[in-house]
Amino acid sequence: MANLIDRHEHILGKLKRQGNVEVLDLCNDLKVSSVTIRKDLKNLEDKHLLYRTHGGATLKNPYAADRPVNEKEKLNSDEKTGIGSFAASLIEKNDCIIIGSGTTVLAFAKCIEPIGNLTVITAALNVASALIHHPEVEILQLGGMLRKSSSSVAGSYAENILDDFSASKLFLGVDGIDLEFGLTTTNVAEAQLNRKMMRTAQKTIVLADSSKFGRRGYGKICALEDVEQIITDSGISEHTVEMLKGMGIEVTII
């Protein structure tokens, strides 16, 4: 069995090379129990040398920061377009859907080509703007306090309107997906509105590029088990895919 100093050097060296590590791999490398590795990771996190995650650790701060929507649009734009294009293919004839806020669902809105009439309920001004040129799309714009950083509204006004509707699907954007903590956003009021949207829709489909995995926002939306499908890109790890499928979630990789 490697001593504590050797274990810590091995963990930090592997983190430097890979960017993240998993407990099971470290157990195999060092021939120690998972309890020992988890204690090592906590010790190193206390020294601010890494961030613990579900099943491992990372060098990247897992907490998502709130950034302006025009800045976020530039990040992983090709992946977001691919995710949005596939999500648009899930819309059915004469459908009624809810679209959340965020740059990935905005990419999805831009890909929509309605079949028959389509009713869209959304809190996001930029989503409504992307769809307004379609004569076949009826848009219900939720009202409330406008969050300029996300170009969307949140609050009790928006939540109360949803009491009068039912939708087939919610296409939800998130700031973080953590296997242990669940789905999160950087704003608590937005998280609460998203929960109300989930209760209004029959199915929740999460649109998130792979950079969102292993990250957390401050506002928890729900546990992962509460969603039916996640659409993401090929940057997601095999371990994460297996864990999600084990929760009964349909994972679509673009």
Asked if 21 and 7 count as a contact pair (C-beta separation under 8 A), the reply is: no
Q: Would you give per-residue pLDDT tens digits along the chain (254 residues)?
A: 579 999 999 999 999 888 889 999 999 999 999 999 999 999 999 998 988 877 888 887 777 555 565 555 556 789 999 999 999 999 999 999 999 999 999 999 999 999 899 999 999 999 999 999 999 999 999 999 898 878 899 999 999 999 999 999 999 999 999 888 899 998 899 999 999 999 999 999 999 999 999 888 889 999 999 999 999 999 998 989 999 999 999 999 99
Sequence ranges of the domains in the chain? 4-58, 69-253
Q: How many residues does the chain have?
A: 254
CA–CA dist 174, 206 (Å, integer):
8
Which CATH number, 2.60.40.1660, 3.40.50.720, 3.40.50.300, 3.40.50.1360, labels domain 69-253? 3.40.50.1360
CA 158 to chain centre: 21
**Structural class in CATH, domain 4-58:** mainly alpha
Gyration radius of the chain's alpha carbons: 20
The pLDDT value recorded for residue 69 is 57
The 8-class DSSP code of residue 226 comes to G
Element (H, E) at 198: helix 188-200
pTM of this structure: 0.77
How many other CB atoms are found less than 10 A from the CB of residue 100? 29
Element (H, E) at 104: helix 103-111
